[in-house]
Amino acid sequence: MSSRLDSLREALSVSPKNVPLLLLFGQACIDELSFDEAREAFDRVLENEPGNTQGKLGIAQVLYLNGNTSEAVVRAEALTKADPGFAEAWILLSRLAVAEGDRDLAARYYQKALKLNPSLSDAGMERDLPAEQVAPAAEPSADASYDTESVIWESDNENDNLPDMQKPDASFEDVGGMEEIKEEIRMKIIYPLQNRALFKAYGKKLGGGVLLYGPPGCGKTLISKAAAGEIRANFISVAVHQILDLYVGNSEKNLHQAFQLARDHAPAILFFDEVDALAADRKDFRESAIRTVINQFLAEMDGNIGSNEGILILGATNAPWHLDPAFRRPGRFDRIIFVPPPDESARESIVEILARDKPVKRLDVKAIAKRTKDFSGADLKSMFDLATERALSRAMKEGRLVPLATEDLTQVAKSMNPSTRAWLENAKNYALYANQAGFYDDVLTFLGIRK
């Protein structure tokens, strides 16, 4: 398990504000009885997302496990008051009531939790509760089955945490640069939709898998949304927290339902952000339930559970080195594309897009692009935001509209450090010393390094 913690720590060093990753790390620390580290992880979750209920629940769990039952009760009760349907908080309250010797109250809390989510039944807990107040745990449903490679859910039960579907308004015109990625996506889903008979004659199916990796903020999510907007397809964005669940079997079921939602509404783009958290290397999780989630993901991608015809599965990651090699086999993420920081030409396009609908004057996009080397798309947006705030401040003082000029943007750029450099330095080490299969050759090419 220590290797799992080390792997998660390394991932957090690259993406320290990744809330789903922090939640996963916090729970792993609890599993390893590292309560201080777990508390720190959940505190960091709330620093980034103050309203995150799983982070609040995690802190209450740590307090309970450390013996601080009074504070844990206060926090758990606050969670159920804010959301009476939060079944996991009721389960924690039940455990706390047992710890404080009130078995009748514990039974009432436990029954409330099971009414909200029957899968939370816990035979161990039930032994500590009055038998006459605890209904027998529900038997596993006949419409759910498990095998050694994957958990396959046939149930149509509704999942409240199911990702939402969108029809994005964005198109490839809204994405600066990234021409190779656009063409790869066109070949996977756009051209087959437009030329069904031709692609069928060549035995090419509509859909497939593409893995996008690179520094944060360089457009992986944007290009995915734009691909859906380009063909008016359904776009389903899956966050890690919508899949991972503390209770056995729920994570696999959530993952299946996300895939099934895409199958039921094809053509669709199913987008997994921070996919490394769901597709991590199984050798780091020999004794962990996360292995079954990874196996489930592989089975879903293979189409063993349902046809993936018409589904483009896009995965995005900042830490490709944590991905299980099985995901890179043909038929899964068989196209792996490095999304680097935008080059000078792409930065010009991004600046032009960001300048739309803003008051600008004498904007020299070439000069701005030259002075923003290694800036990500997110960095460029931040540059515009800061320059806009300064222009607004002047406008309020002078009582007139103050347009953005080249000097405003280049001055802000001088005060910023590109966010991509830390990632590129880390990736360079993997590309030089852990690149036996040539997985990171594009990184070496981008950096101008020859081994």
Return the CATH number of 165-338, one of 3.40.50.150, 3.40.50.300, 1.10.1050.10, 3.40.50.970: 3.40.50.300
pLDDT in tens, 220-244: 988 988 988 888 889 999 988 788 8
pLDDT, residue 369, reads: 95
pLDDT, residue 284, reads: 66
pLDDT in tens, 1-39: 456 677 778 778 877 888 888 998 888 888 878 888 899
pLDDT, residue 103, reads: 83
Find tokens 């994957």 and name the residue.
150
Which of the pair, 240 or 450, is modelled with greater confidence? 240
Tell whether the model's pLDDT for residue 270 goes beyond 90.
yes
Which of the pair, 247 or 201, is modelled with greater confidence? 201
Q: CA separation (Å) from 200 to 186, 188, 429?
A: 16, 13, 43
Out of 101-110, 280-289, 301-310, which region has the weakest mean confidence (pLDDT)? 280-289
Please say whether the beta carbons of 15 and 216 come within 8 A.
yes
User: Which pLDDT band, with edges at 50, 70 and 90, does 211 fall under?
Assistant: very high
pLDDT in tens, 306-315: 889 889 999 9
Average pLDDT over residues 284-305: 80
pLDDT, residue 154, reads: 41
Average pLDDT over residues 71-96: 89
Please list the residue range(s) of the chain that carry CATH number 3.40.50.300: 165-338
The mean of the pLDDT values for the chain is: 84
pLDDT, residue 104, reads: 84
Return left, alpha or beta for 136; rule: phi > 0 is left, psi -120 to 50 is alpha, else beta: beta
**Protein fold of 2-136:** 1.25.40
Which of the pair, 423 or 291, is modelled with greater confidence? 423
Tell whether the model's pLDDT for residue 401 goes beyond 80.
yes
CA 407 to chain centre: 37
Please list the residue range(s) of the chain that carry CATH number 1.25.40.10: 2-136
pLDDT, residue 348, reads: 94
Mapping DSSP onto H, E and C, the string for the chain reads CHHHHHHHHHHHHHCCCCHHHHHHHHHHHHHCCCHHHHHHHHHHHHHHCCCCHHHHHHHHHHHHHCCCHHHHHHHHHHHHHHCCCCHHHHHHHHHHHHHCCCHHHHHHHHHHHHHHCHHHCCHHHHCCCCHHHCCCCCCCCCCEEECCCCEEECCCCCCCCCCCEECCCCCHHHCCCCHHHHHHHHHHHHHHHHCHHHHHHCCCCCEEEEEEECCCCCCHHHHHHHHHHHHCCEEEEECHHHCCCCCCCHHHHHHHHHHHHHHHCCCEEEEECCHHHCCECHHHCCCCCHHHHHHHHHHHHHCCCCCCCCEEEEEEECCHHHECHHHHCCCCCCEEEECCCCCHHHHHHHHHHHCCCCCEECCCHHHHHHCCCCCCHHHHHHHHHHHHHHHHHHHHHHCCCCCEEHHHHHHHHHCCCCCHHHHHHHHHHHHHHCCCCCCCHHHHHHHCCCC
Out of 24-38, 222-236, 278-292, 358-372, which region has the weakest mean confidence (pLDDT)? 278-292
- Domain 344-414's class? mainly alpha
pLDDT, residue 385, reads: 92
Average pLDDT over residues 428-436: 86
Please list the residue range(s) of the chain that carry CATH number 1.10.8.60: 344-414
Tell whether the model's pLDDT for residue 379 goes beyond 90.
yes
